[in-house]
Amino acid sequence: MIGIGGLIGLIAYLIFYLQVNLELYLALAILVAGMTGTARMMLDAHKPSEVYIGFLVGLTVIPAVMFIY
């Protein structure tokens, strides 16, 4: 979930700060994130809190790193 959250964060960064037209990719990445998180919880591989925290870590760290550079 950290990886897919980071991907969504990167796409959002490119859309909002660099004005790149990637809305379709953002929508697809959000769909994939939802399916991945749901699958991880249904397989009892992770608890919901682990899925949410992993997603939020990726979602915040990657844009923060991109904003620094």
- Residue pLDDT tens, the chain, 69 long: 999 999 999 999 999 998 999 999 999 999 999 999 999 999 999 999 999 999 999 999 998 998 887
Does the reported pTM lie above 0.85? yes
- Residue 35: per-residue pLDDT: 97
Domain that holds residue 44: 2-68
Three-class HEC string of the chain: CHHHHHHHHHHHHHHHHCCCCCHHHHHHHHHHHHHHHHHHHHCCCCCHHHHHHHHHHHHHHHHHHHHHC
Count of structural domains within the chain? 1
**Measured between alpha carbons, how far is 42 from 30 in angstroms, rounded to an integer?**
18
**Measured between alpha carbons, how far is 23 from 46 in angstroms, rounded to an integer?**
29
- Residue 66: per-residue pLDDT: 87
